[in-house]
Chains A and B, each alone.
Chain A
Amino acid sequence: MRTAARCLIAFMMLAWGATASAQGRNETLLVVTESGPNSMDIHGVGANRPAYQASWNIYDRLITYGTKASPDGSRMYDYASLKPELAESWTVAPDGMSVTFKLRRDAKFHDGTPVTAKDVKWSFDRAVTVGGFPTFQMKAGSLEKPAQFEAVDDHTFRVKLLRKDKLTLPDIGVPVPAIYNSTLAKKHATASDPWAMEWLKNNAAAGGAYKLESWKPGQETVYVRFDDWKSGPLPKLKKVIVREVPSAGNRRALLERGDADISFDLPPKDFSEMAKAGKVAVVSHPVENAFAYVGMNVKNPPFNSPKVRQAVAHAIPFEKIFSSAVFERGVALNGNPIAALTHGHELVKTPFKYDIAKARALMAEAGHAKGFETTLSFDQGFATTNEPMAVLVQESLAQIGIKTTINKIPGSNWRNMLLKKEMPIFLNAFGGWLNYPEYFFFWNYHGQNAVFNTSSYQSPEMDKLIDAARFESDPRKYSELVRSFARLAVADLPRVAVYQPLLDVAMQKNVRGYQYWFHRQLDYRQLSKE
């Protein structure tokens, strides 16, 4: 008994005294995150957002984006400048109906196989064929069928265009058209699975700057640098460990104690406090082409009445929401949808002020002087900001006679509810990868009625303006079109833009090279530790 106790004590001392080796920690990045990838293949069914990060760092694309300084001095990607990655150069044919890419001659996949145009064609074919999200995203750049892609010789790849679309080249730089090692992938393809979806879910056939060292789903993903990477300057970090720590409070503690290097996804209140305390660096960037809004169903009464919608817009306590639900981690929009969407367009003047008297008058004009009852829904998955926001809206709407019951919808059911398009009034947000206002409007306001047109808004005039802007090449006419559809969106008011969220990231002060990306994931290649 006594020896056992002594052994135990000796053992405990050993345990507590053990110091992990500090070797190599400066070349290793420890990322903590709420949840990790569910696939290594961005083309896979149901690949989640963390899977985009994995794919972005393991795989190369043909082209990528340059960087620029954002207004506050931090770095961000530059949507207007495309840079070579696997493609050394590219030329657009004189008639504008095809693009020819010249591939790097020295590029290799992780297993040593040289990268050829055949691999590129296989990868593009795969993206437009497998269906679901990748095919959808390719379509956004008018990349629709395998016949468009041609491997001219080993190092020349051509894309034939179906129509002149200014989104085609930018769409080739998003995470979806990643280049797969087709020789390796085909070895794992079967008759029922010609694209090796099953194998590529858990394995990488890639040639990007990082190799997948180990992946324990739900726990940890470890990446090591691919030293033979040729598509850019060799990254500084030799190893990246991504640990899943579900509790936000613990992620904050890990950062403040200096045990973890970097984390996204903390509540806005935490970011706000950490930025003030100054122990760790907090870098924030408004999420491009995105805003959070109060949406109303324009098909069904009572919100089918434009006057009622205007009344609601005047009764939304923009400033209160911004200060006590969002903790100022965003840009206040006060009803102006276009402010969040692009840079360089003349803004539509802020149309709404919080004005209860005016809202009441509008309600009376609409024949609802006595008000009505309805339900206000939101996605519980984002309850941190949604819940206080819903309470503030509820309180304020009560003053103009709209009695609302708050309906919290579990995250797993939210998409389903959006698809049904039956919620009378609700909180939601949308963000698009490609930073073009007509891209945002195409998903959110167009009569094609995508799931993101959450209000079931239909207007032939709006559709005409959006379609025209998409294919307009004259910058002045284009600007006029953008202003017109923005004005129409404010006039018809299917939704009231409330704020543009910030993408916050907290990191140790010795972490360098972070930049904002439209996909809102970390690019390990740019990061280093001092």
Chain B
Amino acid sequence: MRLVGRRLALAIPGLVGVVVVTFLLNRALPGDPAAFFAGPAATKQAIDEIRVKLGLDRSLPEQFLYYVRDLGRGNLGTSLTTGQSVVSDLVQRLPASLELTLAGLALAVGVALPVGVFAATRPGSWIDHVARVVTTTGVSLPVFFTGLLLVYVFYYLLGWAPAPLGRLDAFASAPRTITGFFTIDALLTGQPATAGAAVRQLVLPAVTLGIFAMAPIARMTRAAMLGVLSSDFIRTARAAGLASRTVLFTYAFRNAMLPVVTLLGMIFSFLLGANVLVEKVFAWPGIGSYALEALIASDYAPVQGFVLVMATIYVLLNLAIDVLYGVIDPRVRIEA
């Protein structure tokens, strides 16, 4: 508990830094939101009116103070591209991004961990080589390309996957919001058909993300396992005649997990950002595509909101990983 509190306190200066930097960066972007939103037939006067309305006529420190004050009230401003408040947009869209990212990560872990372990037990074998080639290819392909390729093959040519129309088929209606995860909400409200439809929509984008995330996980698992397998205590365990299964999973795997978990945390937050492009390809209504559209329109508030949410997720994630360390390796707990 004390650990959690201390970690949280340490995160505050970081968050303050994020607030300042995003504010300044956004102001440094080219583009004049007032001109953009004044519409096609705007006069100079009309643009000035909008500038006043948006508070852009004030000095930078003044704008910043207003921004911080609103932030304190939980008001992240209004998005000009969707016309809604940024908080309600983010609340609606964050579950979509999380559902996609978690599904992608689960897929990547489900494939990459066994592959990594297997490759480590037989280094230099053909399986090791195949795993290396496949994962490296996955990570070298840009995600939007993998996404478009998968859509082309599985939707356009084969017709196996559903249309890339976002989280649900256009003719299905969304389940009542409980967690915001369509698959879970649909099951909770007893709509297996809707859950099925949501899973079908999820498969291709999750695979796209999964392919991208697979390589670092597999490589790290392999390296960590190799390191552990060649260490003294494994040799001792083997010499003591323990079953190779026990050696591999109880002793080696658990010790190799530490760096892998650290990496997983990084990959998760990284994927949450990287799925901007995947969301665009699959018309996925997440926060990544939201921030991207806002950036194109020089719409400051959603971009700031996005960065702030991401920063918070990073902080929480790091905290969770630190706690998880303690579970995997009790020694960490004592040192902290």
Contact = CB atoms under 8 A, between A and B. Distances in A.
A216 interface: yes
B44 A419 contact: yes
Contact of A413 (B32, B156, B283, B293): B32
Interface in B15-71: 30-33, 35-44, 46-47, 49-50, 53
Contacts of A39: 83
A187 to B, nearest CB: 20
Interface stretch (B1-9, B193-201, B226-234): B193-201
Contact of B82 (A217, A245, A259, A260): A217
B292 to A, nearest CB: 9
B84 interface: yes
A351 interface: no
B328 interface: no
The residue among B41, B83, B172, B298 with the most chain A CB atoms within 10 A of its own CB is: B83
A254 B152 CA distance: 11
B132 interface: no
A243 B166 contact: yes
A65 interface: no
Interface stretch (A44-52, A121-129, A282-290, A514-522): A44-52
Given A18-B193, A243-B170, A246-B283, A218 B290 contact: yes
A395 B88 CA distance: 49
B92 A250 contact: no
Contacts of A137: 41
Contacts of B82: 38, 217-218
B53 A247 contact: no
B33 A132 contact: no
Interface string B173-196: 000000000000000000011011
Given A28-B171, A45-B53, A410-B31, A219 B83 contact: no
B296 A250 contact: no
A133 B41 contact: yes
B199 A15 contact: yes
B110 to A, nearest CB: 11
B81 A15 contact: no
A412 B89 contact: no
A98 interface: no
Interface stretch (B118-126, B133-141, B157-165, B206-214): B157-165
Contacts of B36: 46, 412, 415-416
Contacts of A413: 30-32, 298
Given A15-B196, A247-B283, A412-B33, A217 B84 contact: yes
B151 interface: yes
Nearest to B39: A133
A250 B197 contact: no
B37 A46 contact: yes
B197 A18 contact: yes
A25 interface: yes
A217 B196 contact: no
Contacts of B53: 45
B83 A202 contact: yes
A228 interface: no
A473 B169 CA distance: 55
B297 interface: yes
Contacts of A416: 31-32, 35-36
Contacts of A450: 41, 43
A452 B169 CA distance: 42
B31 to A, nearest CB: 4
B325 interface: no
B208 to A, nearest CB: 13
A347 to B, nearest CB: 27
A244 B81 CA distance: 13
Given A202-B83, A218-B81, A412 B296 contact: yes
Contacts of B298: 412-413
Interface string B277-290: 00011110100011
A412 B295 CA distance: 9
A256 interface: yes
B293 A257 contact: no
B155 interface: yes
Given A218-B82, A243-B170, A244-B283, A131 B32 contact: no
Nearest to A219: B285
Contacts of B47: 419
Nearest to A259: B163
A20 interface: yes
Contacts of A253: 151-152, 155-156, 164
A21 B193 CA distance: 11
A47 B296 CA distance: 16
A45 B166 contact: no
A398 B15 CA distance: 52
B42 A254 contact: no
A412 B41 contact: no
A45 B37 contact: yes
A112 to B, nearest CB: 26
Contacts of B151: 249-250, 253
A93 to B, nearest CB: 30
Contacts of A30: 170-171
A191 interface: no
B80 interface: yes
A410 B46 contact: no
Contacts of B264: none
B248 interface: no
B180 to A, nearest CB: 13
B11 interface: no
B148 interface: yes
Contacts of B282: 250
A76 interface: no
* Closest 10 pairs (CB-CB, A-B): A46-B37, A217-B82, A15-B196, A412-B31, A133-B39, A412-B298, A413-B31, A259-B163, A18-B196, A416-B32
Interface of A: 11-12, 14-18, 20-21, 25, 28, 30, 32, 35, 38-39, 44-48, 131-133, 136-137, 201-202, 216-220, 241, 243-247, 249-250, 253-254, 256-257, 259-260, 381, 410-413, 415-416, 419, 443, 450-452
Interface of B: 30-33, 35-44, 46-47, 49-50, 53, 80-84, 89, 92-93, 148, 151-152, 155-156, 159-160, 163-166, 169-172, 192-193, 195-197, 199-200, 280-283, 285, 289-290, 293, 296-298
23 contacts: A12-B199, A15-B197, A16-B196, A20-B172, A28-B171, A32-B165, A39-B83, A46-B36, A47-B39, A216-B285, A218-B89, A218-B289, A250-B148, A250-B151, A253-B152, A253-B156, A257-B159, A410-B30, A412-B31, A412-B298, A413-B298, A416-B32, A452-B41
